[in-house]
Chain A
Amino acid sequence: MIGFDFDYYKPNSIEEAQKAYKDLKSQGKVAIYYSGGTEIISKARVNQIHFDAIIDIKGIPECSIYGFKEDKLIIGAATTLTQISDSAFFPLLSQSCRNTADHTARDKITIGGNICGKIIYKEPLLPLLLSDGEAVISDGEGVKSVPLTQIFDKELQLEEGEFLIQITINKEYIFLPYINIKKTKQGKVDYPLVTVASIKKDNKIRIAFSGLCSYPFRLYEIEDNQNNINNEIKIEFNNIMDFLPSPIMEDILGTAEYRKFVTRNTLDEALEKLGGVLC
């Protein structure tokens, strides 16, 4: 049970949502945007967050689009992970979503909620980072489009009052060779010890990680530090370790040393699938 009262808004357009937020703010109320709700409900139940109102974006048509438009795949922020994992639009993304949480939770979790939430894993984000996705954002007055690679740093850098409407991906990315491997502490359903997502574009291998450090990231540095010899891409494991943006995580899922061991095996497997070699 959520132990406090709050108001519920379900706007039918971006403008209505923006207005609701402004109005609530002017009344001194704390409003948060709401999509699948799994994280907000879990945290509210144990009093880890408090709000006066939630603004549900699921009634906004732009947030619920999921499909191709011209040369782009449009993924509305309110698309559930189940919808994505059951579809074949972007195989890498479908697999990432399928590897996240369990089926019951995926029916509720939306991709926008997952990316904007406090959860540190955000596995569905990895394919979007690798494929140079664009974030379409409501900025309070209008709508703007920003490359994910710019606006995502540890978390999605949204200003107050902003919310994510869509992610768009250029069609060319969805046909690229890819691999997605998730390793857990033990069971099939758990947060990752490490998840490696990888694609090959223009004869270069791009790699993104979740679970390895305390936030998901694409390791850009390694894209300029690989040797292509006779179409075999060589990547040094020690280079990857040196380029990590922060120390390897150490928590109840595994020690840093063990994560490193698992990461090495996982990268080995991933690179082999993409015509690379880990050395």
Chain B
Amino acid sequence: MCVYTNHPYVTSFRGFGHLEYTIAIERTMDKLAHALGIDPIELRLKNAIIPGDTTPTQVELTRSNIGNLPECIGRLKDVMNWEEGQRIDIGNNKVRAKGIACFWKTSSTPPDAASGAVITFSPDGCANLSIGAVELGQGSKTTLAQILAEKLRLDISRINVSIDVNTQDNLEHWKTVASSTTYMVGNAVIAAAEDVIEQIKAISSIVLRCEAKDIEIADGKAFLKNNPKKYIDITEVIHGYRYPNGNSIGGQIIGRGSFIMRHLSGMDKETGKGTPGPLWTIGAQGIEVEFDTKEYTYEVVKANSAIDAGKIINPMAAKGVTMGGMAMGLSIASSEAFIYNDMGVILNPNLRTYKSIRFGEEPEYLVEFIETPEGDGPYGARGLGEHGLVGIPGALLNSLSIAAQADLNRLPLTPETIWRTKTGETI
């Protein structure tokens, strides 16, 4: 049955589903810690998921696929200066309070999600990379250029990644979603680079009169491992090699690579068993607020994340992507929501009244990475994208529940929401 309503249609937004259930879990963890008289960090450390455990859908966990959550929690504890106390009275009706949340997220891709990559060369020896991933500000094309530069041992300024994506010309990428571009496309790029290297070596070995295995490639040259002075510039082979008398061999070198998710499965209806993704990126996040106990207003002072994202290929981009996610999490948790009247009509249909946080309202952000390698990821990288958002609403609820000494479970966390909870006014 279909029912038309006057509600707006909804669609997926960064981290959808994850932040919502994480709120429920992380509020519960804090309430359990309170009831047990245990420090919330201690309770989380005791219950942190580790290699040897199984997930709710019975995936066996290894150091590679789950990383190191206890280390994330420990790092967060240090950077938040947890030992000084969770709630500190700073005078003038103000308290400073800290709250945390843990999170994990896998890709939840279809089991046959796949990506392709093709590498060609310009006559000057620059490598052109064609992929299907869409650039939406996350910087994954830079990360992929880095991966290719590393693999080809070519300066990154000599790598061109196709920026616009045209499904007629570019390679397939399942979807630019699920925080999986670096993982999936990165693996395809490595495969394509290996294909290119093999082809260059094959032609070069004929020219240099040796075995392909004797050759190495770096800085745009194919040279003998044992005698780098004996080399050929790759510009001489990428579009075919021409002998002095005009005879030619080879042809255009075209590198081909692809990646498909491995060993994923759908969920069994009876048992609930299934493998929804190849790996988990996990982390711990903390919020420090300054709360006014008289007016119930607050300011987010610090937002911290400690995330095990495997090998970080581009530290600045990884930090930026994570901070952006954290900012979105704070905005959703503190102010964003549609408001409906009794007739179901939205009362805040534009950005004048639908408020997100402004630049001047951002807290100090701190992002720490733990780099437990993922066995199948490009250079050991895990997925990283939406994760920065996931634990933030739960951590904000926890910090404000501590600050206000109230059981806060409702978003957005406006001062009125806190006032109502404190004074028992019904909503």
Residues of A within 8 A of B (CB): 185-190, 251-252, 254-255, 257-258, 261-262, 265
- Known contacts being A257-B425, A262-B295, is A252 close to B353, with CB within 8 Å? yes
Give complex CA distance A252, B355 in Å: 11
CB closest residue in chain A, given B423: A261
B358 touches A186 (CB 8 A): no
CB closest residue in chain B, given A101: B352
Chain A residues near B360 (CB, 8 Å)?
A: 188
Q: List 30 A-B contacts (CB under 8 A).
A: A185-B335, A185-B355, A185-B414, A185-B416, A186-B334, A186-B335, A186-B355, A186-B412, A186-B414, A186-B415, A187-B335, A187-B355, A187-B357, A187-B358, A187-B361, A188-B358, A188-B360, A188-B361, A189-B358, A190-B355, A251-B347, A252-B353, A254-B416, A255-B416, A257-B425, A258-B416, A258-B419, A261-B419, A265-B294, A265-B295
Nearest 10 pairs between A and B by C-beta?
A258-B416, A252-B339, A186-B335, A252-B347, A186-B414, A265-B295, A254-B416, A187-B355, A252-B348, A185-B414
Give complex CA distance A186, B416 in Å: 9
Give complex CA distance A252, B357 in Å: 17
Chain B proximity of A10: nearest CB distance (Å): 28
Chain B proximity of A22: nearest CB distance (Å): 36
A185 touches B361 (CB 8 A): no
Chain B proximity of A87: nearest CB distance (Å): 22
Give complex CA distance A189, B425 in Å: 27
Chain B proximity of A237: nearest CB distance (Å): 15
Residues of B within 8 A of A (CB): 294-295, 334-335, 339, 347-348, 353, 355, 357-358, 360-361, 412, 414-416, 419-420, 425
Give complex CA distance A48, B118 in Å: 54
Give complex CA distance A260, B347 in Å: 22
Chain B residues near A251 (CB, 8 Å)?
A: 347
Give complex CA distance A186, B347 in Å: 17
B415 touches A185 (CB 8 A): yes
Chain B residues near A189 (CB, 8 Å)?
A: 358
CB closest residue in chain B, given A261: B419
Chain A proximity of B416: nearest CB distance (Å): 5
Q: Which of B334, B355, B358, B416 has the most CB of A within 10 A?
A: B416
CB closest residue in chain A, given B296: A261
Chain B residues near A258 (CB, 8 Å)?
A: 416, 419-420
Give complex CA distance A189, B348 in Å: 15
Chain B proximity of A264: nearest CB distance (Å): 10
Give complex CA distance A262, B416 in Å: 9
Chain B residues near A186 (CB, 8 Å)?
A: 334-335, 355, 412, 414-415
CB closest residue in chain A, given B346: A252
Chain B residues near A257 (CB, 8 Å)?
A: 425
Q: Which of A185, A187, A251, A261 has the most CB of B within 10 A?
A: A187
Chain A residues near B416 (CB, 8 Å)?
A: 185, 254-255, 258
Chain A residues near B353 (CB, 8 Å)?
A: 252
Chain B residues near A265 (CB, 8 Å)?
A: 294-295
Chain B residues near A254 (CB, 8 Å)?
A: 416
Chain B residues near A185 (CB, 8 Å)?
A: 335, 355, 414-416
Chain B residues near A188 (CB, 8 Å)?
A: 358, 360-361
CB closest residue in chain A, given B299: A188
Chain A residues near B294 (CB, 8 Å)?
A: 265
Chain A proximity of B46: nearest CB distance (Å): 36
CB closest residue in chain B, given A42: B352
Chain B residues near A261 (CB, 8 Å)?
A: 419
Chain B proximity of A74: nearest CB distance (Å): 32
Give complex CA distance A188, B334 in Å: 13
Chain B residues near A252 (CB, 8 Å)?
A: 339, 347-348, 353
Give complex CA distance A257, B424 in Å: 13
Give complex CA distance A258, B414 in Å: 11
6 additional A-B pairs beyond A185-B415, A187-B357, A190-B355, beta carbons within 8 Å, are A186-B355, A186-B414, A189-B358, A251-B347, A261-B419, A262-B295
Give complex CA distance A189, B351 in Å: 12
Give complex CA distance A254, B355 in Å: 14
Give complex CA distance A254, B418 in Å: 13
Chain A proximity of B174: nearest CB distance (Å): 38
Q: Which of A252, A257, A265 has the most CB of B within 10 A?
A: A252
CB closest residue in chain A, given B416: A258
Chain B residues near A190 (CB, 8 Å)?
A: 355
Chain B proximity of A39: nearest CB distance (Å): 12
Give complex CA distance A34, B320 in Å: 44
Chain A proximity of B312: nearest CB distance (Å): 33
Chain B proximity of A67: nearest CB distance (Å): 31
Chain B proximity of A94: nearest CB distance (Å): 19
Chain B proximity of A42: nearest CB distance (Å): 8
CB closest residue in chain B, given A102: B358
Give complex CA distance A251, B357 in Å: 20
Chain B proximity of A111: nearest CB distance (Å): 20
Give complex CA distance A190, B355 in Å: 8
Chain A proximity of B337: nearest CB distance (Å): 10
Give complex CA distance A75, B348 in Å: 34
CB closest residue in chain A, given B427: A255
Give complex CA distance A82, B295 in Å: 30
Give complex CA distance A254, B357 in Å: 18
Give complex CA distance A262, B292 in Å: 13
Give complex CA distance A187, B415 in Å: 10
Give complex CA distance A258, B361 in Å: 23
Chain A proximity of B383: nearest CB distance (Å): 32
Chain A proximity of B391: nearest CB distance (Å): 21
Give complex CA distance A265, B294 in Å: 8
CB closest residue in chain A, given B356: A187
CB closest residue in chain A, given B339: A252
Give complex CA distance A262, B297 in Å: 10
Chain B residues near A262 (CB, 8 Å)?
A: 295
CB closest residue in chain A, given B340: A252
Chain B residues near A255 (CB, 8 Å)?
A: 416
